[in-house]
Amino acid sequence: MLETNNVTKIYKTGGEETFALKDVTFTVKDGEFVAIMGFSGSGKSTLMHILGCLDRPTSGTYKLDGTDVSELSDDDLAAIRRDRIGFVFQSYNLLPRASVMRNVTLPLIYSRRPRADREQRAADALRAVGLPEDRWNHRSNQLSGGQMQRVAIARALVNDPSLILADEPTGNLDTQTGEIVLDTFQRLNRARGRTVMLITHERDVAEHADRIITLRDGKIIGDKANPNPRHADQYDVQ
């Protein structure tokens, strides 16, 4: 469902060129849980922007669900981001004074769906991430960090995207809460068949995925299956 072929990204400053990505090629099948791992400067953020249709490669091609998105118009890219990709960020990006339900229904505001349908979709997404119903009418700034991240994941799910793209989703969380969030991604992947791509610089976070792609200096230096992914229940996390 996702394919990059010789993707290269060059940033030009004055007369100098900096290669952020160099001939990056890989394929992700529908329903995989893949971690993209690398230290600062490895190119993982640039790759995330391209996979999320937030930026374009300098050369090479990127296909999502069979569509070559490399040369699409800005409007077409915006439609793909809206309908086919669910984003989860380190900083949650929630409206602090809005309710949980309001935050999750926001991506549906311009869909012309009836209010009852929007709220049903939001409720289904919140149940999928395991947020208790007694929290749904709370403002997001009344929640714990782990709860806020689960709301952000529910918001990413509400449009039924083909790809969930999570950028350092545990970066602002303590270890135990981070395990709960990672367990949420695992359950969404295994029980619901969601394709998940997790961007991280931490090995123990990447080890929750079934496959780990490692970047260094803009190049893929490793792409291996992870036969024994970490699970939250191995660490007494409820």
Alpha carbon distances (Å) from 80 to 9, 24, 35, 65:
21, 22, 22, 11
Residue 191: band (very low, low, confident or very high) from pLDDT cuts 50, 70, 90: confident
pLDDT of the residue at 119: 93
- Which CATH number does 1-84+161-238 carry? 3.40.50.300
- What percentage of the chain has pLDDT greater than the value 70? 97
CA–CA distance, 96 with 130 (Å, rounded to integer): 20
pLDDT of the residue at 52: 95
Residue 15: band (very low, low, confident or very high) from pLDDT cuts 50, 70, 90: confident
> Which of 201, 206, 205 is closest to 225 using CA atoms?
206
pLDDT at 193 over 70: yes
> Which of 49, 3, 41 is closest to 19 using CA atoms?
41
Q: What is the pLDDT of residues 72-126, one digit of tens each?
A: 999 999 999 988 999 999 999 999 999 999 999 999 887 778 889 999 999 999 9
DSSP assignment of 7-61, as one string?
EEEEEEETTEEEEEEEEEEEEE-TT-EEEEE--TTSSHHHHHHHHTTSS--SEEE
pLDDT of the residue at 238: 39
pLDDT at 235 over 50: no
CA–CA distance, 152 with 173 (Å, rounded to integer): 14
User: Do 59 and 23 form a contact (C-beta atoms < 8 A)?
Assistant: no
Q: What is the arithmetic mean of pLDDT over 44-60?
A: 94
Q: What is the arithmetic mean of pLDDT over 10-18?
A: 90
- Mean pLDDT for the chain? 92
What are the structure tokens assigned to 117, written together? Answer: 């349908």
pLDDT at 12 over 80: yes
Residues forming CATH 3.40.50.300 domain(s) in the chain: 1-84+161-238
CA–CA distance, 222 with 100 (Å, rounded to integer): 39
> Which of 47, 42, 34, 39 is closest to 201 using CA atoms?
39
pTM higher than 0.85: yes
- What percentage of the chain has pLDDT greater than the value 90? 82
